[in-house]
Structure 1
Amino acid sequence: MLYGRSEEQAEIDRLLDGTREGRSGALVLRGAAGIGKSALLEYAADRAADMRVLRGVGIESEAALPYAALHLLLRSGLDRIDALPDAQATALSGALGLRDAPPESRFLVGLATLSLLSELAGDRALLCLVDDAQWFDQASLDTLLFAARRLEADGVVMIFGARPEFPATGLPERRLGGLDDAAAAALLPADLPPQVRERLLQESAGNPLALVELPAALTPEQRAGRLSPVGAMPVADRVREAFHAQMSGLPEAARTALLIAAADGSGELATLVAAGASPPGLEAAERSRLMGINGSTVGFRHPLIRAAAYQSAPLTERLAAHRALADALTGSASPDAADRRAWHLAAATLGPDEDVARQLEEAAGRARTRGGHAAMAAAYQRAAELSVDPVRRSARLAAAALAASDAGLMGRAAALADSATPDVDDPTMIVALTQVRAHREVELGTPLAAGRIILDAVPRVAVHAPDQATWLLVEAVRCAWFSGDVPLAAHAAAMLRELPVTGWPLADQAEGLTRLLGGDIAAGLALLDAGRDLSGLGVPGLTFAAGACLAAGRAALAEEIAGRVAADCQQSGMIGWLAFALQDQGFAQGLLGRYGDAMGTLDAGLRLARDLGHEHRVLHLTCCLAWILADQGDVPGCREKAEEGVRRADDRGLVLAATIGRWALGRLELGLGNADAALRHLAAVPPTGFGVLAAADQVEAAVRSGRPDRAGEPLERYLTWARHVGQPVSDAVALRCQALVDQDEASFADAVRVHERVDQPYEQARTRLAYGEWLRRSRRRADARVQLRGALEIFDRLGAELWARRSRAELRATGDVPAAPRRSGDPLSVLTPQEREVVRLAAGGASNRDIGAQLFLSPRTVGYHLYKAFPKLGITSRSQLAAIARSAMVE
């Protein structure tokens, strides 16, 4: 029976009931050791008698073995791996060491795990219980959190028990505190004297395990109340002392068995016996109830017992236990035996040992083939600590840094890189380490700091590898573009010009962005246009090119390039770059007026960036979403995202993200008719770099607020930009701006005609609305109605409600009676962003499995989204989707 946990039990009951109805859920139970997490997991297991239950326990000594914990959790369901799509089955089997496989993306392993959980749920519900999750190896933890965040309609519940510091962003959680006095008193023996009970209640701080174990450890004198029952130690330490007191009374063979089992962590009975744990000793330990033996598996009753058994042993005995376990694992057929042996040897080694370091390096190589980048980093790092040769030590630290970066552990990666850099002289390694440190700064620090890190490293690289130095300098310009820092860009561009000419197109584009940032629009755009040969570029280079196309007003080309990058990233597993590509692809779709597609793309990028912990990407995507919501007229959604995004971006020096957020707020206020507020936001947008794209809105805000004197500079800036961009849509917008300033009908009429040459409906409607307003004020009502009706039809179709409302008001002012507001003509507008993406792919003929692989969802969740989408779309079968999707594209 559980005491004092009724709220937690009720929440578990709700989760399990929902699972029986086909819903999914997750819960993290956080709390100190002994606080009752394991008891609540047992409660969940008892209440799930009608479900399939998977259980896993984190073991600290196995935290460096990639996917060890995941294998333990899934082992009873591994016979269903072959039911997964081939790529997923291969990735998961390779990660778990079940077959040889090339390195795979950890996200593909996560998707395979999600699919397997859905498969194991079948027609029944599935409960996954994860205890001591803080001790899970990083690869297993990433995989399970990935799956937990994407559970929707799979009939799966995942409950994690973990210490307070356990990272589980985005999952529901409950923090367990101590029991109240009534519940705590119920756990104490009834025959204790009042003063002893009171002291135990006080010192245990409501910790259930302490309340159960401390009374059992009292001496007769303490129990009678003649001595202080406990000392002034933290609860966990007091409980460990209580367990240690129990162990001290056991025979030596039992204490030895407990120590070997604690040092091992795998629970394999045969390995423990081979390492010196005698059967009589194991039996005595089991009789003490400190551990249990179930078939060929040995387990401790509580993790603190393991800690007490290990920490209370003298150092010499601990070292001997690890050596014995390493010997026992020699020649073992277990897939992870070599890795475990290497780590036991490392634990038994106090000083440098090149042989052990080499074995750890080999373990890191095996981790690479299984996608266990965090385990790989740990192995290389420990190998470095055991290295004799300083150069080899730095090389291993460098490898650890790269692996940690691949695992998404950017802070740790940067620290390792800093440790390795002084002794590394290989240009390729310097480039890699510089990128690790710069990547950390870009996403968690500031792009300006990242650019300076790159510039500091370039001279060491340029002497031996000018081509690699060129790439570093292009990256430095990208950092300057993000941070809006002209000196950084100018410095990097000057260093680029000093390098031998390579003919690499990105060098010209980097120079072009530098000129734009410095305000030289003509030269900047000329260089960006000259650098459009993209042949031979990989994912990082193409991502740079897509961003440069956005700056050059070539949204269609940017979307094409970013879409190609996104597809490559999904196929190759370069997930960090995928969030980047989705950011540019989604914003380009927004610039083209394809708001539904843009919302789906940006939403997918934002969820991915949050999973990765890429703070810069999260803020940039948030501001991009705000920009889309401004055009859609979602006032609270836009303001919430933009204001938060701008505030946090300003704090971090993310000028480009803040520019998009301020632009979003300015467009929103224009749509609301608040010209003064719009001008205030738009005037705060930097006049150079990407900010030039917002100049047209600044012109309109200045004119509408009665401040035409403040329209001159942004008008000239936008006219210059449009003239050199040479795109019909920018030419038309430039004519609209000129017409607004000059109040010139010819420019309005020319703008409308130019808009007809290109498909950019939003800007076309803005122009027709502005022209219609001018005509109405000129008392030409019939002519005004033509333009206003055209504007209203487009705004309605796009779902731009604020602008549609203004168009209706203008039409009413002409004496017309406009049609009532209607939903956007896009038939997919009734869907959520995720439903829209699922429908779009299904309409193209993709299966549920294929869709799940692209969107990181389980096939069952894909089916659930289609089930929800069909009635919204007024259809009953999959075969009708293609026609719906085609009509959306036509609209």
Structure 2
Amino acid sequence: MLYGRAAEQAQVDRLLANARSGRSGVLVVRGQPGIGKTALLGHLTERAAGVRVLHGVGVESEAELPYAALHLLLRSELHRIDVLPEAQAAALRGALGLGAAAPENRFLVGLAVLSLLAEVAGDGALLCLVDEAQWFDRASIDALVFVARRLDAEGIALVFAGREEFHPQGLPELWLDGVDRDAAVTLLAESARDLAPKVRDRVLDEAGGNPLALIELPSTLTSEQQAGQLNPFTTIPVANRVQQAFQQQIRALPDRAQALLAVLAADDTGDLGIVLRAAESFSAGLADLEAAEQAKLVTVNGAAVAFRHPLIRAAAYQNMPLTSRLAVRRALAEVLVGGEHADRRAWHLAAATTTPDEDVARELELAAERARTRSGFAAMAAAYERAAELTPDTAKRSVRLAAAAVAASDAGQPARAGSLADRTSEEIQDPLALAHLIQVRAHREFEQGSQAAAGELIITGAERVARLDAERAAYLIVEAVRCGWYAGDPDLAEQAARLLRALPRIGSPLVSGALGLAALVNGDLKNAVALMQELVLAPDLSELQVPGMLFMAQMCAPIGRYGQAEAAAARVEAECRAHGMDGWLTTAVETRLQAQMLLGGYREAATKLEEIIPVIGDLGQRNGAVALTALLALACGELGDEQGCRTAAAAVFEQAGVRGLRTAEAVAVAGLGRLELALGRPKASLKILERISAANAPVSVFFAPDRIEAAVKAGEPERAREPLAYYLNWAAGVGVSSADAVALRCRALVENDEDLYEEAARAHEQGEQPHEQARTRLLYGEWLRRSRKRAAARAQLRAALETFDRLGMMLWAERARAELRATGDVPAAPRQADDPLSVLTAQERQVVRLAAAGASNRDIAAQLYLSPRTVGYHLYKAFPKLGISSRAELAAIAT
């Protein structure tokens, strides 16, 4: 029975009741050791009659073994993996070591766990309890938090319990304080009835409402002390005193039973057979386990053994002297034979080693390389880090730390990667390791700090690398140029370019692309385009790795090759997802969606951005999330979502100014400028767009036509001269039809020339930007109406309206309708007004559109990072709103 927890019990009871009714919920219970977190989970278990319960407990010794805790949590349901979609099943088997190694994809593993739990809940409600969450390994907790953020209609209650340091962002939380005085008195009276009054008061004061302390502290007192002969308590924290109480109980057992408990505490397999074989080294066996059970320190249920409370596990391990703890680890390592236990053996050997040992370090290095084969970069980083700590040779230690840093960076953990890099020796001479270290430090700064500072770090370090290996230095400096571009810093880009030019020529198209980008940032369009084309049009790029392929994809759009940009970025994104390279995923997604928007796919890009921004936030890539939010502001501006545009732009401005994210800031500014232009407020638009400086050259070129149109429509054509000259120069250099068409439109607008409008219209027929073609038709139609050529105007305006409606650009469509009405035409009503999907929530619209395209619930779930049951729930809610009763009717409505 719980005392003083009525409100907390009611809160978790509601969670369980909702699960029984098919709705999912999440709660994070936090508090100090002994405060009652485990007891509250026990209350839930008692209330869960008829509900499937999965219960996992974190073990400190498992914290570096990827997915170890998840394996123990799910082990009773692993037979269900076969019913998952093939890609999810393979990812989960690979993560849990149940099949052939598969590249780790954190998103896919998280989605597989969500699907698996939803399958379990399909038999009725599911209660999933995660106790001592602060000791779950990082990979397991990441997967479960991924699940927690996406639960909806599966009938799952997911409850985490952890200490103060466990604090996942964005999840509902219940903080447990000590129980009140009345409850504490009742609990103490039940657990220790013979205390003298002054001793009772002292225990109450010292326990501070901590329930476990109230139960266990009296057991630390002698009979004389319980009767009143009590010296003042020490100032040891209450949690430590509770652990000492457990240690007293453990020390009352025979030595062999104490040793067996230490083995059980250090074990992370959950396999009683392994525990007993290791315990044989201490002459311990089943009889000693029985003694621990009789002392109520453990519970035994068949082959399953568990400590009564997590603090007992810690007490059992810490009770033993250091030499005995080391012996326990060695004993476990000796019995963990076979390939399936190789990683655990390596980690136990490491835990048994107190001085540098190359043999043990090598075992961990092999574990790291095994993690590499499945792209388990977080596990790889942990293994390399510990291997480095055990490496006697200074140079080799630095190389292993560098490998750990790179793995952490690839895992999408820039802060951890930077910390590892900072621990390496400054005297490192291996050029590859040195280059990796510099890149890792810069990547941390790029993702979480100042992008200009990231470039400066690279330039400083590249000079050292150049003395050892000029080619590796060149590839580093390419990244410095990219930093100058993102930061909108022409001086930084040019400084990097000078270093590149000073190095021996290596003949890589990446170097040409970087020199071109630096020239573009500094306004040298002629040389910029020629050099960037050497990269983008190179006949063979097969030797490029992910960073190089991504850089190439980024260089396509600034020279007008939008389709190529989208295709190349999509390939890199797929590679990142397939191999768990979260460190590069954000930029790949950003590049692909930017290209998709340049091709007119604003609606699809906005939907994807709303889905992916929270996921990128989960990865801790703050600057990447800002860049994507800027794209969302731009997409919303084009689509006529005024509130969405202004909200996203405000979020960008809040972060961009502090961190110097000038490119992201420029994109958000452009979103606001286009919104004002679409709203028919050219003066406001011009004022906003002129905030985009020349330092943002690689992106400002995309918004120069907006600035030109705003200036002309505001009655200030002289303010169009500069952006017009810039855009015409750029378009002539890139030589692609889409750029030529927009350039002709801009000239026609400024020069008030019908022939130029006609040329623009013809050029658009060879281009790949339907939204720009529609804007040209709109402007030409406006010109024709003013010239009293109403019939010709109607043809242009109707075509523009059809495209704007099809692309979801509602404000632009309304401008076209207004112009059509001015010609005497009666345009069709706005499609949005007749769109039956407008009655749906955003999530329901996404699900319905995919279902209408023929996707199954599982396919939809995989695309939207939901469970199939949640997809079914959204369709169930959408059908009545749409006035339909079957999936077959969706296609006619949603197209």
Q: TM-score, normalised by structure 2?
A: 0.89
1:387-412 CA distance string (max 9 Å, x none)? 22222222222222233223333222
How much has 1:628 moved relative to structure 2? 0.5
Give the match for residue 704 of structure 2: 695
Distance 1:370 1:530 in 2: 35
Give the match for residue 208 of structure 1: 211
Q: Which deviates more, 789-798 or 286-295? A: 789-798
How much has 1:270 moved relative to structure 2? 0.9
Does 1:650 pair with 2:657?
A: yes
Q: Is the 8 A contact 2:452 2:483 kept in 1?
A: yes
Give the match for residue 443 of structure 1: 447
Of residues 324, 327, 330 in structure 1, which corresponds to 2:334? Answer: 330
Letter in 2 for 1:206: G
Aligned pairs (5 A) from 1:574-585: 574-585=581-592
Q: Is the 8 A contact 2:25 2:151 kept in 1?
A: yes
Distance 1:820 1:572 in 2: 48
Give the match for residue 762 of structure 1: 771
Does 1:56 pair with 2:56?
A: yes
Of residues 223, 237, 240 in structure 2, which corresponds to 1:237? Answer: 240
Distance 2:733 2:142 in 1: 47
SS at match of 1:422: coil
Does 1:565 pair with 2:572?
A: yes
Give the match for residue 724 of structure 2: 715
Distance 1:808 1:601 in 2: 29
Aligned pairs (5 A) from 1:586-735: 586-687=593-694, 688-735=697-744
Q: CA 1:785–1:181 in structure 2 vs 1: closer, same or farther (change >3 Å)? A: farther
Q: Which deviates more, 61-70 or 875-884? A: 875-884
Does 1:175 pair with 2:175?
A: yes
How much has 1:513 moved relative to structure 2? 1.2
Of residues 353, 359, 363 in structure 1, which corresponds to 2:367? Answer: 363
Q: Is the 8 A contact 1:582 1:602 kept in 2?
A: no
Q: Which deviates more, 862-871 or 580-589? A: 862-871
Letter in 2 for 1:596: R
Structure 2 residue runs without a partner (length 5+): none
How much has 1:753 moved relative to structure 2? 5.3
Letter in 1 for 2:235: A
SS at match of 1:724: helix
Does 1:377 pair with 2:377?
A: no
How much has 1:695 moved relative to structure 2? 1.9
Letter in 2 for 1:121: A
Q: CA 1:369–1:561 in structure 2 vs 1: closer, same or farther (change >3 Å)? A: closer
Give the match for residue 76 of structure 1: 76
How much has 1:39 moved relative to structure 2? 1.9
Letter in 2 for 1:130: V
SS at match of 2:831: coil
Give the match for residue 164 of structure 1: 164
Q: CA 1:751–1:357 in structure 2 vs 1: closer, same or farther (change >3 Å)? A: closer
Structure 1 residue runs without a partner (length 5+): none
Letter in 2 for 1:270: L
1:454-478 CA distance string (max 9 Å, x none)? 3234345445654443332222222
How much has 1:49 moved relative to structure 2? 1.9
Distance 1:577 1:360 in 2: 26
Give the match for residue 486 of structure 1: 490
Q: Is the 8 A contact 1:329 1:337 kept in 2?
A: no
SS at match of 1:582: helix
1:758-815 CA distance string (max 9 Å, x none)? 4534334434444555566677777766655554444344333333444455556667
Q: Is the 8 A contact 1:580 1:617 kept in 2?
A: yes
Give the match for residue 511 of structure 2: 507
Distance 1:513 1:49 in 2: 65
Q: CA 1:765–1:872 in structure 2 vs 1: closer, same or farther (change >3 Å)? A: farther
Letter in 2 for 1:524: A
1:267-323 CA distance string (max 9 Å, x none)? 63414532424555544433332333333443322222233344454xxx2322321
Q: Which deviates more, 490-499 or 332-341? A: 332-341
Distance 1:706 1:228 in 2: 89
How much has 1:663 moved relative to structure 2? 0.9
Does 1:530 pair with 2:551?
A: no
How much has 1:562 moved relative to structure 2? 2.0
Q: CA 1:259–1:682 in structure 2 vs 1: closer, same or farther (change >3 Å)? A: same
Q: Is the 8 A contact 1:599 1:833 kept in 2?
A: no
How much has 1:56 moved relative to structure 2? 0.8
1:642-678 CA distance string (max 9 Å, x none)? 1111221221122211111111121122233444443
Letter in 2 for 1:262: A
Distance 2:762 2:103 in 1: 55
Distance 1:77 1:862 in 2: 22
SS at match of 2:832: coil
Q: CA 1:651–1:246 in structure 2 vs 1: closer, same or farther (change >3 Å)? A: same
Letter in 1 for 2:392: V
Q: Is the 8 A contact 1:96 1:370 kept in 2?
A: no
1:195-243 CA distance string (max 9 Å, x none)? 5555544443332222333344444555456646644343322322333
SS at match of 2:364: helix
Does 1:270 pair with 2:276?
A: yes
Give the match for residue 404 of structure 2: 400
Give the match for residue 822 of structure 1: 831
SS at match of 2:423: helix
Q: Is the 8 A contact 1:118 1:860 kept in 2?
A: yes
Give the match for residue 302 of structure 2: 295
Q: TM-score, normalised by structure 1?
A: 0.89
Q: CA 1:350–1:480 in structure 2 vs 1: closer, same or farther (change >3 Å)? A: same
SS at match of 1:232: coil
SS at match of 2:98: coil
Q: CA 1:40–1:721 in structure 2 vs 1: closer, same or farther (change >3 Å)? A: same
SS at match of 1:124: coil
Q: Is the 8 A contact 1:66 1:370 kept in 2?
A: no
SS at match of 1:293: strand
How much has 1:359 moved relative to structure 2? 3.0
Q: Is the 8 A contact 2:576 2:584 kept in 1?
A: yes
Distance 1:381 1:722 in 2: 51
Does 1:516 pair with 2:525?
A: no
Distance 1:157 1:357 in 2: 42
Distance 2:779 2:10 in 1: 59
Q: Is the 8 A contact 2:337 2:345 kept in 1?
A: no
SS at match of 1:188: helix
Distance 2:800 2:88 in 1: 49
Aligned pairs (5 A) from 1:101-180: 101-180=101-180
Q: Is the 8 A contact 1:799 1:824 kept in 2?
A: no
How much has 1:627 moved relative to structure 2? 0.6
Q: CA 1:686–1:202 in structure 2 vs 1: closer, same or farther (change >3 Å)? A: farther
Percent of matched pairs sharing the same residue: 56
Letter in 1 for 2:528: G
Distance 1:793 1:408 in 2: 43
How much has 1:338 moved relative to structure 2? 4.3
Give the match for residue 36 of structure 1: 36
Distance 1:820 1:370 in 2: 54
Q: Which deviates more, 218-227 or 138-147? A: 218-227
1:366-406 CA distance string (max 9 Å, x none)? 44456544333333222222222222222222222233223
How much has 1:92 moved relative to structure 2? 2.7
How much has 1:591 moved relative to structure 2? 2.0
Distance 2:833 2:523 in 1: 39
Distance 2:415 2:450 in 1: 13
How much has 1:559 moved relative to structure 2? 1.6
Distance 1:877 1:595 in 2: 30
Give the match for residue 457 of structure 2: 453
